[in-house]
Amino acid sequence: MATVLGSNLINAPVANAQNKDITPDEALKKLVEGNDRFVNQKRTSRNQGQERLTEVAQGQEPFAAILGCADSRVPGEIVFDQGLGDLFVCRVAGNIATPEEIGSLEFGTLVLGAKIIVVMGHERCGAVKAAIKGGELPGSIGSLIKSIDIGSVTLKSEVPGDVDKAAQANVNHQVETLKKSPILSDLIAKDKLKIVGAYYDLDTGKVAILS
């Protein structure tokens, strides 16, 4: 069914086929360079005007996909200095690879052609803090927090640095979860995709690549 879906939608018209001749490493380089511009206050605000809006109105071919935290301080398009149609972004508290997020990223890569998936966590993550603290949580929040992997960090830890270690451990765990997807692993095997972990510094705006 995925093959049929892909063959039907890959042919959707798009003005800017920006991901056709780019490799996963080149896609990662574009993101790193964009973040450097953001950190150094040299943003180009590329692909954000009316011309670009018109250009991508009938189709999209993002060169990269981001699985990020829903935290309002970490908007992927801004911190990587990208614009309309550049990034396929999935955001959820704790940047966790739920079945829905995995399915979305399979679509973004297999069908739309994104060449890299970046799982991006960040320092002082509230969802990770909740996972460390443990205990009962209201509504559906608890089921979300259970999907966060804090590695070897001890529950109820009061050491601030443990939040950063736990957040990075969670990023690595979500990367490995994504790699278990048959669709994503097949794209990786064919050198059409790379999945990496990243960590965002709230104080500097710098994105560090973890893996």
Least confident piece of the model among 41-50, 65-74, 122-131, 180-189: 41-50
CA within 13 Å, CB half, 141: 12
For residues 127 and 94, is the Cβ–Cβ distance under 8 A? yes
- Among the residue ranges 1-15, 85-99, 158-172, the one predicted with the least confidence is 1-15
Q: Residue 129 belongs to what domain range?
A: 2-209
Q: What is the pLDDT of residue 18?
A: 65
> Given this model, what pLDDT does residue 10 score?
47
80-93 pLDDT per residue, tens: 999 999 999 999 99
> Which residues sit opposite 208 in a β-bridge?
199
Q: What are the residue ranges of helices labelled H in the chain?
A: 2-10, 24-39, 50-55, 76-79, 99-106, 126-133, 141-145, 160-179, 182-189
Count of domains observed in the chain: 1
Whether the CB-CB separation of 163 and 124 falls below 8 Å is answered with yes
CA dist., res. 201 & res. 21, Å (int): 31
Other beta carbons within 10 angstroms of residue 126's beta carbon come to: 13
CA 116/CA 192 separation, integer angstroms:
8
| Chain segment 89-147, per-residue pLDDT in tens | 999 999 999 999 999 999 999 999 999 999 999 999 999 999 998 888 899 999 899 99
Where residue 157 sits, what CATH number does that domain have?
Answer: 3.40.1050.10
The more confident residue out of 158 and 138 is: 138
Q: What percent of the chain has pLDDT over 70?
A: 89
- Enter the DSSP assignment of 188: H
Q: State the pTM of this model.
A: 0.88
**pLDDT-derived band at 156, boundaries 50, 70, 90:** low
- Rounded CA-CA distance 84/104 in Å is 18
C-alpha 190/C-alpha 161 separation (Å) is 38
